[in-house]
Amino acid sequence: MKRLAAFLLMLVLLTGCAPKQVSTTVFAMDTVMKLSVYGDEAVLDEAEALIHQLEAQVSVTREGSELYSLNHTGSGTVTGHAKELLDRALALCSRTDGALDISIYPVVRSWGFTTGEYRVPDEEALASLLSHVDYKKIDFDAGSGAVSLSPDMEIDLGSVTKGYLSSCLIALFRENGITSALVNLGGNVQALGTKPDGSLWQVAVQDPKNDSYLGVLSIADQAVITSGGYERYFEEDGKTYWHIIDPATGAPAQSGLISVTIVGTDGTTCDALSTALFVMGLENAADFWTASDDFEAIFVTEDNTVYITQGLQDSFTLSEDHSKMELQVITRD
């Protein structure tokens, strides 16, 4: 009897101490999303519902979404997560002084990045589209969620949605008592806690020039979000055009950077800054980092140098086949 009781107690302790890993893959927002949680299967259903709900609200191509009707009528109301996301996005447009501008959408479309029918737009047409780009002209009441756009303006939250979503998923897991989880939304990663054994998560950072890994980041409780010229681009007359647009010119950002990875605790911030700092270029991005205290970054330049901010010195390592690359540390002094 005693032995049986001891055995049962052991079993309870073992299963109690080490929740099993459950995972799922969801395809949404044009992205393969992998969710991996140490805990109960039921939370994955809730997570999946959250993903589809956010997509249904903020998709710019889905008729009937809050953003779709806003873009097509010039005014509307955003609710719940869409309201929170728009509020956060506008604050980040302002924080980056317009390097991030959610009203760049008509320009992105004119280059064909929304459909895959790529083309270099006609200069006059581009100038005309660009004259309507200015996030400051978005009239948004964060209380009621009422939004109105100036004429010919359209907005898209694609540059921040996945980071916002990963933070929401992590919050959902936490509310459900989970202490260890990892989400990977098309290469944008966010971790809850450490691995169950207490060790750090190892997150690979993609080499922007090919399919291999540039290096590995060891993290806990953080998001790792990358914007790269390699993600979506086309070539014409020997020139490469990618999907990150400089709102100052209306053309793909030619800043000398080919990828920017942001590491921080808030997914929305990381996603916004990965796009914005790509636009800014290394020097301005480094100054921006110096003046901030909520993220670290990895920059890869066209000439193949890797720059990391000083907070990543102990957590980032170049992969073996990249160990000969030049690695520079950006410091605050």
Residue 77 or residue 114: which is nearer to ligand ADP going by CB? 114
104 binds ligand ADP (CB under 6 A): yes
Q: Which long-range contacts (CB under 8 A, 24 or more apart) does 124-129 make?
A: 126/250, 126/251, 127/250, 129/250
Residue 43 or residue 282: which is nearer to Mg ion going by CB? 282
270 binds ligand ADP (CB under 6 A): no
Q: Nearest distance from residue 88's CB to ligand ADP, in Å? A: 13
Residue 178 or residue 277: which is nearer to ligand ADP going by CB? 277
Classify residue 298 by burial, with Cβ atoms within 10 Å: 0-12, 13-18, 19+. buried
What does the angle CA 145 – CA 147 – CA 153 come to, to the nearest 5 degrees? 150
Residue 219 or residue 277: which is nearer to Mg ion going by CB? 277
Residue 81 CA to residue 295 CA, distance in Å, equals 23
Classify residue 11 by burial, with Cβ atoms within 10 Å: 0-12, 13-18, 19+. exposed
**Contact footprint for Mg ion (CB under 5 A):** 159, 227, 271, 274-275
Q: Nearest distance from residue 124's CB to Mg ion, in Å? A: 29
Binding-site size for ligand ADP (CB under 6 A) equals 19
317 in helix, strand or coil? strand
User: Of 147-155, 164-172, 267-275, 300-308, which part binds ligand ADP (CB under 6 A)?
Assistant: 267-275
204 in helix, strand or coil? strand
Residue 51 CA to residue 29 CA, distance in Å, equals 9
Q: Which x/- pattern, by CB under 6 A, does the window 150-179 give for ligand ADP?
A: ------x-xx--------------------
Residue 159 or residue 167: which is nearer to Mg ion going by CB? 159
92 binds ligand ADP (CB under 6 A): no
Q: Nearest distance from residue 10's CB to Mg ion, in Å? A: 48
Taking CB within 5 to 8 Å according to partner kind, which of Mg ion, ligand ADP, none is near residue 277? none
279 binds ligand ADP (CB under 6 A): yes
DSSP strands (E only) in the chain: 21-28, 31-38, 75-77, 139-140, 146-148, 181-185, 188-192, 201-206, 213-219, 223-228, 233-236, 239-242, 257-264, 296-301, 306-309, 316-318, 327-330
Query: Of the candidates 245, 244, 272, which has an alpha carbon nearest to the alpha carbon of residue 95?
Result: 272
Residue from the set 71, 110, 227, 301 that interacts with ligand ADP by CB under 6 A: 227
Residue 54 or residue 178: which is nearer to ligand ADP going by CB? 54
In the block, tokens 């709102």 appear at: 247
Residue pair 180/197 in contact (Cβ under 8 Å)? The answer is no
Residue 44 or residue 99: which is nearer to Mg ion going by CB? 99
Binding region for ligand ADP (CB under 6 A): 100-102, 104, 108, 113, 156, 158-159, 227, 231, 243-245, 247, 271, 274-275, 279
